[in-house]
Each structure stands twice: as structure tokens, then as C-alpha cells.
Structure 1
Amino acid sequence: MHKYVWTFVLGFLLGALHAVAKVPANSTQMVLTISDGWDLSTGQLYTFNRVDGRWQRHSIQARVNIGRAGLAWGLGLHAPQEGVQKREGDGRAPAGIFRLGDAFGYLSSVETGLAYRPMHVNQYCIDMPASPYYNQTVDVGEVGIEAVRGSSEGMRRDIHYGDNQYRKGIFINHNPDNMAGAGSCIFMHLWKKDGAPTAGCTSLSEPVMDQLLSWLNREARPVYVVLPLSEYLRKRDLWSLPQLDY
């Protein structure tokens, strides 16, 4: 009898552990995007500073585009969740809690507190699950031209595809272990236009991107949280997320 009681208790505790997200205690900046539903392709972005352990609203608020098919659970700082999971090519943006990485773009430098990586014509993000470089940005000069043949995405989209979407951007650390097929090359970048969905990234206007780049600081260890409203309301207290008025 005691064995079954302990099994139940252990299962309950493990379930509770997996429900709790891990926003690092030393992260003091958060970008939050809320959509109105799992299958919608637009959302609202907000920014927060953590002061004395409490999230306080910062000034940036803007409409953004997300995946053309909406959202699905990604791989990041949160524990695994039940529901639709992000997969390569599904047109969904990853939901959950993620670290924000370096800024990148076409310019030699930008005004930002993040580390900045200028992109050039030989840099590609690998989106082929069978590649040993899956979900990584590589330089053809280092890995060879064969490594990027297929559908790998050129990071200088102005040269390869004739658009400025990656003129300014921020790496989102989704799928940090580069698990094959779990989704790759997830960024914040400039939009084509308001309402134009992405393949899985978050896109926004250039003025809003400039505000984000200027505000974000790598010393603050910023995180990006993306959730549909229903899930945000369900997880808000459990995950100690900021309060929003709706």
C-alpha cells in the first residue's frame, strides 16, 4: 500500500515540476508576445523590466506577425508541454520561454546592448534536419558549399532573395540542442508588412525593432515569451509571468 502512495506522490511532484517554467532568476528583461489563439498569425508585443523581483511594464508595445499557421510548443527554458509541438516546416512559431541571443543584420553595427553579428553573403542558417549543422548559422568558407545546398537560408536576404527582412534581427534561442526536425532558424526580424505572416519567426516594423535593439542588454540576460492568450492566462501565476490587463 505504501509503495502505491509513494508512487502517486512522486508522480504528482514530477508533474508539478514539469509544469513550472524556468525564467532565470538573473534575467531582468522580458519581451512578451501574446496572440489571440494557437492558430492565429498575429500578436501583441510588450516589454518588461524585472525590478526587485517583480516584472514592471516597459514602454514598448506593438503589433507583430508570427507563424502563418500560428503557434506550437517549442524547445526552450520551459519544461515540455502537452499539445502541438513545433516541427520543421510546419509554419508555426514556437511557443514558450526562450533566451534572446545576439543581434544580427546587414549593417556593420547597430545601436544595441546585445552582442552584434554582421551578416555577409556566405552565411546561411541550416534548416535541413539531416545536416550536422542543423539550426546553426554557418559560413560557407568554413563548412564548404555542399553543406548549404538544399533549402538552407541565406542570411543576406537582400542579396539572395531581394528583401530587407534580415536587415536587422535578433536570434531566438529555440531548440538550443539542435534536435533534428524540432524547428530551426527562429528569429525576430523586420516584417514585409503588417499582417504578413512568417514561416515561424516573429516579424515587426523597423521602428519597433530599433526600440528593442536600443533597450535590450545582454547583461540583463533577456528572455522572449510567446503564448496564445488562453495559455498565458493559464500559466501566468504558475510561471510568475507579468500581469496584463485585458
Structure 2
Amino acid sequence: MRIDVRQRGPKPHHGVLTIGQLVLPCALGRNGIVVNGVEGDGATPAGSYPLRRILYRPDRRDHPDTELSCVPIGPRDGWCDAPGDPAYNRPVRLPYPASCEKLRRKDRLYDTIVVLGHNDDPVTPGLGSAIFMHVAREDFRPTLGCVALSPDDLNRVLALADRRSTITIHPPKG
């Protein structure tokens, strides 16, 4: 099923995600959606991406109801965001010598992660890493470049998604 994301609202990080008949509020990067994004720019990269797999916290939620492949997040799971490292934009085991995100967080933002196929086939150093769809903060504050939804809305999207689903993040008009 096709998933579309667009900026909408008074601030660049306000967005909407559409799947089927559902139109859902989402948070984007603090700088909105950009066409030529780079690592650390605080923007959500425009483009069409496959949904690679779901990572989830089995200690905090049930197995997601979805056709997509689901992998539990373990205590040593991370994601490399160091452009000069060979594991850039890839999962790693912690501790890891280069800069990386810890996937098992104290907050609930990464209780469910949809890994998007952004800059992964092939990986280009510096083009951006760890672009996910994940749980939003309650106030929908900006992300570092991901697409974030309420937990219930994220579960609704996962229930509708299948192995052929793609997410299209549309650049702003004008």
C-alpha cells in the first residue's frame, strides 16, 4: 500500500501521513522536508523508499500486527551514524567505536521503528542515516529527520502496510 508524507501546518516539522483513507498527523525533521539532505541537517529527506523491516521492543509492546518482517530490539542494538565508518547507516552491536544511535532507549520513541530504505542500497557516506518511521513525542516536537506518529497511528499504518509498501516523502511545493 502506498504511504505519502507531506509538510502541512504552521511549522516546517508539521506533517501529514496518508495511507488508504487515513490522514494522520506526523512530526518531521526540524527543517521540514528537503530534496538534497545530508547527515545532521535536521531535515526529512524527500524521495520514495521501501519499508525494509520493523524493529520493536518486545518488553514494551506485543509483536506488531503487520505483514512486514519484524525483529526484536536487543539491549546492545545500535545504528551507526558516522559517515567515515564502514558500518555507516547500518545496524551495529554496542558498544561500538564510532558514533551511533542506541536503539533501546529509555523514552518510548523507538518502541517501534520502521526502517526506511533511505541511503542503504548503496550507502553513500554523508547522505543521511537512521531515517526511520517511529513513535512521536506527545507534543509532536521535531525529529532529527525521521517521520514520527502517535503509537496508535503507527500501529494502524503497520496493519495496512505490506511487503510492497513504499513511503513517498514529498518535497514542499514552491
Q: TM-score higher than 0.5 here? A: yes
Structure 1 residues 151 and 223: CA distance shift in structure 2, 3 A: same
| 1:113 is the counterpart of 2:101 | no
Q: Deviations over 1:93-114 (max 9, x none)?
A: 1101111110111026221110
| 1:99 is the counterpart of 2:50 | yes
| 1:230 is the counterpart of 2:173 | yes
Question: What amino acid is the match of 1:137?
Answer: P
- Report the Cα distance in structure 1 between the residues aligned to 2:34 and 2:117, rounded to whole angstroms: 15
Aligned equivalent of 2:99:
151
Aligned equivalent of 1:207:
152
After TM superposition, the structure 1 = structure 2 runs for residues 1-246 of structure 1, keeping only pairs within 5 Å, are 29-36=1-8, 40-47=12-19, 58-73=20-35, 85-107=36-58, 109-140=63-94, 145=95, 148-157=96-105, 162-176=106-120, 177-218=122-163, 221-230=164-173
Query: Which has the larger Rg?
Result: 1
Report the Cα offset of residue 227 of structure 1: 1.2
Q: Deviations over 1:21-75 (max 9, x none)?
A: xxxxxxxx111011149x811111101xxxxxxxxxx2321110000111222xx
- Report the Cα distance in structure 1 between the residues aligned to 2:119 and 2:93, rounded to whole angstroms: 20
- SS state at 1:217 partner: coil
Question: What amino acid is the match of 1:163?
Answer: D
Report the Cα offset of residue 150 of structure 1: 4.4
- SS state at 1:33 partner: strand
**Which segments of 5 or more consecutive residues in structure 1 lack a partner in the other structure?**
1-28, 48-57, 74-84, 232-246
- The two structures have a TM-score, normalised by structure 1, of 0.65
Answer 1 or 2: higher relative contact order, Cα 8 Å, separation at least 6.
Answer: 2
- Percent identical pairs in the alignment equals 29
- Report the Cα distance in structure 1 between the residues aligned to 2:150 and 2:111, rounded to whole angstroms: 11
- Report the Cα distance in structure 1 between the residues aligned to 2:31 and 2:172, rounded to whole angstroms: 16
Report the Cα offset of residue 216 of structure 1: 1.0
Which structure shows the bigger proportion of residues in strand conformation?
2
Report the Cα offset of residue 193 of structure 1: 2.0
* Count of matched residue positions in the alignment of Structure 1 and Structure 2: 169
